């Protein structure tokens, strides 16, 4: 049976393929150290697990839930945005809990994009933006990000495009994979661009608390809700990746639009998970400090590993990864990644999976212990 045309240009996710290769190497006894995927290896706060346990034991918490999510979770999200970003949101109308923010990327594309529409996507950038746009039947146009430009869009270059069919622009700061931090001046320019060309600016914001002293939301810009929606997540900052809890924030019109699609896709999130997520959002700033102390120590080990490989990187980058330029004696990040994998049994991500502008880079995840990073360094020293 033939697959639908919408899958013609959609490939299996790179990490899905690569994990099979790594699994096969492990079956051969290679014991690969995976420094590729950004899945936090630390647990959530004990209070979060306690709430899940207690609420799951109650007999009335197992029914279908509201499509808009529990009021308890929405109110916790509103308080979290107010406390950490200084953004005031109406918990009843401007917040939509999601089963992970990744589904929100697809929901937004399916809600707003038709065949013939164009969405601007970053190069390098998260591959799911492209996949979601194509699944919606629309066309992707890349905008180039470069180290020389501070990994920010070149708006003069963007305005040379034919923007008449552009309905959506995907942005992501702190940026993945480059670790470029958010900048309020950049955010102001994005809002101005969206208003000038009637483009919906979709901001994916899951990394703002990781190794970052100044979390910023695009919704902080005055008038942003006219053209901005923001996705956020508990996967990274609360160590809840497998729990699948995210959120969409924006004007009530946008929330209602997306709800028309989402309500046909699922029947709500398990209530105890929502209540535990609300507890996670109420954690004190000490939680983020403690988590970031762990990541800061790991980042030093990642720097040591990259120095060993002769890579160049910026120490100021934030988020769950370290992004680094490969030495000139390698054709690209794929060549370096393959060499390290097959000779040292250590996997680091080639930057080219995030777009052509990432070809000369690799990315190291901080989601492995210092001990594993030290072992990876020892293995690489042996083969070099």
141/139 Cα distance (integer angstroms): 7
Residue 11 has pLDDT above 90, yes or no: no
- The band of 2, judged by pLDDT with boundaries at 50, 70 and 90, is confident
Q: Which residues pair with 140 in a beta bridge?
A: 119
d(C-alpha 145, C-alpha 151), whole Å:
5
Per-residue pLDDT, 13 = 67
Contact call for residues 203 and 228 (beta carbons, < 8 A): yes
Q: What CATH topology corresponds to 5-43+286-383?
A: 3.90.1150
286/83 Cα distance (integer angstroms): 14
To 10 degrees, the CA torsion angle through 141, 331, 303, 38? 40
Its pTM stands at: 0.94
**Percentage of the chain exceeding pLDDT 90:** 89
Q: Where are the domains of the chain?
A: 5-43+286-383, 46-281
Residue 18 confidence class, pLDDT cut points 50, 70, 90: confident
Asked whether residue 188 carries a pLDDT value surpassing 80, the answer given is yes
pLDDT band per the 50, 70, 90 thresholds, residue 383 = confident
Q: How far apart are CA 256 and CA 25, in angstroms?
A: 47
- The three-point CA angle 146-149-155 to 5° equals 100
pLDDT mean over 189-201: 98
For residue 149, which of 169, 129, 122, 127 has the smallest C-alpha distance? Answer: 122
Q: Is residue 21's pLDDT more than 90? A: no
Structure token pair of residue 127 = 């591959």
Per-residue model confidence as pLDDT tens digits over 123-179: 999 999 999 999 999 999 999 999 999 999 999 999 999 999 999 999 999 999 999
Give the helix ranges, DSSP H, for the chain. Answer: 14-27, 46-56, 71-85, 101-112, 127-135, 155-158, 184-197, 252-262, 271-281, 285-309, 333-344, 370-383
Mean pLDDT of 283-301: 97
Measured at the alpha carbon of residue 174, what is the angle toward residues 353 and 281, in degrees to the nearest 5? Answer: 115
The Cα angle at residue 278 between residues 272 and 279, in degrees rounded to 5: 90
Please give the mean pLDDT across all residues of the chain.
95
Longest dimension (CA), the chain: 63
What residues does 231 pair with on adjacent strands? 204, 248
Chain-centroid distance of CA 164 in Å reads: 28
Give yes or no for residue 285 having a pLDDT over 80: yes
Q: Mind listing the pLDDT tens digit for each residue in 96-124?
A: 999 999 999 999 999 999 999 999 999 99
**What kind and span of H or E run contains 324?**
strand 321-325
Between CA 54 and CA 185 the distance in angstroms is 45
> What confidence tens digit (pLDDT) does each residue in 42-93 have?
999 999 999 999 999 999 999 989 989 999 999 999 999 999 999 999 999 9
Q: Which residue, among 41, 24, 47, has the nearest Cα to 278 in the 3D structure?
A: 47
Q: Are 230 and 220 in contact (CB under 8 A)?
A: no
Residue 341 binned pLDDT confidence (cut-offs 50, 70, 90): very high
Res. 3 pLDDT band, cuts 50 70 90: confident
Predicted confidence at residue 218, as pLDDT, reads: 98
Residue 179, phi-psi category: left (phi > 0), alpha (psi -120 to 50), beta (remainder): left
Distances (CA, A) of 19 to 32, 162, 259, 335: 10, 39, 34, 18
CB atoms within 10 A of CB 72: 15
Taking the C-alpha atoms of residue 122 and residue 37, their distance in angstroms, rounded to an integer, is 20
CATH top-level class for 46-281?
alpha beta
Cα gap 104→167, rounded to integer Å: 17
pLDDT at 384: 78
Backbone φ and ψ for 248, nearest 5 degrees, come out as -120, 130
């Amino acid at each position: 049976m033939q697959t639908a045309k919408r899958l013609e240009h959609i490939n299996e996710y790179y990490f899905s393929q690569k994990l099979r290769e790594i699994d096969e190497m492990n079956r051969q006894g290679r014991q690969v150290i995976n420094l590729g995927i950004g899945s936090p290896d630390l647990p959530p706060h004990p209070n979060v697990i306690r709430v899940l346990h207690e609420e799951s034991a109650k007999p009335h918490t197992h029914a279908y839930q509201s499509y808009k999510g529990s009021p308890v979770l929405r109110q916790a999200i509103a308080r979290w945005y107010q406390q950490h970003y200084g953004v005031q949101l109406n918990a009843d109308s401007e917040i939509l809990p999601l089963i992970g923010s990744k589904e929100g990327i697809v929901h937004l594309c399916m809600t707003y994009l038709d065949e013939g529409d164009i969405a601007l996507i970053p190069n390098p950038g998260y591959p799911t933006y492209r996949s979601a746009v194509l699944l919606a039947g629309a066309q992707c146009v890349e905008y180039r990000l470069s180290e020389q430009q501070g990994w920010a869009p070149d708006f003069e270059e963007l305005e040379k495009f034919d923007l008449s069919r552009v309905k959506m622009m995907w942005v992501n700061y702190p940026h993945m994979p480059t670790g470029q931090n958010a900048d309020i001046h950049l955010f102001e320019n994005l809002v101005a661009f969206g208003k000038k060309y009637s483009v919906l600016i979709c901001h994916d914001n899951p990394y703002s608390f990781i190794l970052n002293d100044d979390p910023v939301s695009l919704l902080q810009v005055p008038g942003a809700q006219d053209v901005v929606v923001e996705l956020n997540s508990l996967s990274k900052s609360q160590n809840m990746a497998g729990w699948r809890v995210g959120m969409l924030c924006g004007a009530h019109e946008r929330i209602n639009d997306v709800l028309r699609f989402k309500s046909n896709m699922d029947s709500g999130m398990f209530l105890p998970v929502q209540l535990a997520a609300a507890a996670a959002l109420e954690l004190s700033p000490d939680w983020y400090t403690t988590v970031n102390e762990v990541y800061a120590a790991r980042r030093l080990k990642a720097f040591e590993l990259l120095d060993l490989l002769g890579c160049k990187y910026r120490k100021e980058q934030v988020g769950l990864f370290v992004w680094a330029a490969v030495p000139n004696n390698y054709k690209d990040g794929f060549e370096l990644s393959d060499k390290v994998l097959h000779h040292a049994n250590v996997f680091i991500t080639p930057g080219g999976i995030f777009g052509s502008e990432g070809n000369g880079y690799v990315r190291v995840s901080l989601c492995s212990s210092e001990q594993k990073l030290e072992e990876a360094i020892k293995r690489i020293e042996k083969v070099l």
